[in-house]
Amino acid sequence: MTHVLVIEDDPSIRSLLVRSLSDRGLAASSAPNGLDGLRQAVDDAPDIVLLDLGLPDLDGQSILTMLRAVSEVPVIVVTAQDDDRQVVRALESGADDYVVKPFTVEQLVARIRAVLRRAATPLGDPGLTVGELAIDPAARTVTLRGEPLELARLEFDLLHYLARRVGEVVSKKEILSEVWKQIYGGGEHTVDVHISWLRRKLGETASAPVYLHSVRHVGVRLVDPTSARTGD
Ligand code: CA
């Protein structure tokens, strides 16, 4: 059974979430503040953490950073309003997804399932190489010219997805639905943000692309720079 840890200071929202998630067949536990939440996230090893960013003791953003230092547990952050900067900062700190209050339990459960699907390691998925990039989906590792790259979860998933479609232009909409597994609209700016981080880790820039080529108003294409056919 999937264990969800809910870190939320508002007692009525907290108990509503725990009850609603339990009603839908998930095991839910909760913490009323950041430090208890952090302790439980480490000690109880939940499958996923739902983290309110507005907490009384330490803000959720700090909790997220501290949690990421010790744990790879998937995290969905909850924000009070659709604050792009807050969302981008949370994603940059290792959040896997976000929901904006008020949200429905149906939406939350869909997002929990999507994040868990994405986090699951595909068994027997063969490795693939594009030029001097080698991607091992089972180990979730990437090397460039034999040197390991440190990629966040979404960066890895994005690179892996593009590598399976090498040479093809992939739209941001498709990335949102196939990589982010997000069935709701919007959020294309988070794709741009992750592409730019990935680009930095690959040691290239948007103006001098090697592997990651943006196609204006359409999306992005991963090319094999060692193959003359795809170079343009
Ligand atoms: Ca709160």
Q: 55 alpha carbon to ligand 1 midpoint, in Å?
A: 5
Q: How far apart are the first and last CA of the chain?
A: 49
- Quick one: 164 and 71 in the same domain? no
pLDDT at res. 63: 94
Give the Cβ contact number of residue 17 at 10 Å: 21
Q: 52 alpha carbon to ligand 1 midpoint, in Å?
A: 6
Burial per residue of 63-102, b for 16 or more beta-carbon CB atoms within 10 angstroms, e otherwise: bbebbeeebebbbbbbbeeeeeebbbbbbebbbbbbbeee
- Quick one: 137 and 112 in the same domain? no
Q: Which residues pair with 94 in a beta bridge?
A: none
Question: Tens of pLDDT along 138-152?
Answer: 888 999 999 999 998
Q: 56 alpha carbon to ligand 1 midpoint, in Å?
A: 7
Q: 54 alpha carbon to ligand 1 midpoint, in Å?
A: 4
Q: What is the CATH number of the domain that holds 81?
A: 3.40.50.2300
- Quick one: 159 and 113 in the same domain? no
The dihedral region occupied by 189, where left means phi > 0, alpha psi between -120 and 50, and beta the remainder, is: alpha
Asked whether residue 231 is domain-assigned, the answer is: no
- Quick one: 53 and 133 in the same domain? no
Q: What is the CATH number of the domain that holds 143?
A: 1.10.10.10
pLDDT at res. 118: 79
pLDDT at res. 179: 87
Q: 9 alpha carbon to ligand 1 midpoint, in Å?
A: 5
Q: 189 alpha carbon to ligand 1 midpoint, in Å?
A: 25
Domain boundary among 65, 97, 119: 119
Q: Ion ligand 1 — residues with CB under 5 Å?
A: 9, 52, 54
Domain boundary among 119, 147, 171: 119
- Quick one: 29 and 95 in the same domain? yes
pLDDT at res. 186: 65
Q: 155 alpha carbon to ligand 1 midpoint, in Å?
A: 29
Q: 33 alpha carbon to ligand 1 midpoint, in Å?
A: 9
Q: 80 alpha carbon to ligand 1 midpoint, in Å?
A: 8
pLDDT at res. 184: 59
Burial per residue of 158-193, b for 16 or more beta-carbon CB atoms within 10 angstroms, e otherwise: bbbebbeebeeebbbeebbeebbbbeeeebeebbee
pLDDT at res. 93: 87
Does the model's pTM come out above 0.85?
no
Q: Which residues of the chain have pLDDT under 50?
A: 230-232
Domain boundary among 79, 97, 119: 119
Query: Could you identify the residue written with the tokens 């209050």?
Result: 101
| The total number of structural domains that make up the chain | 2
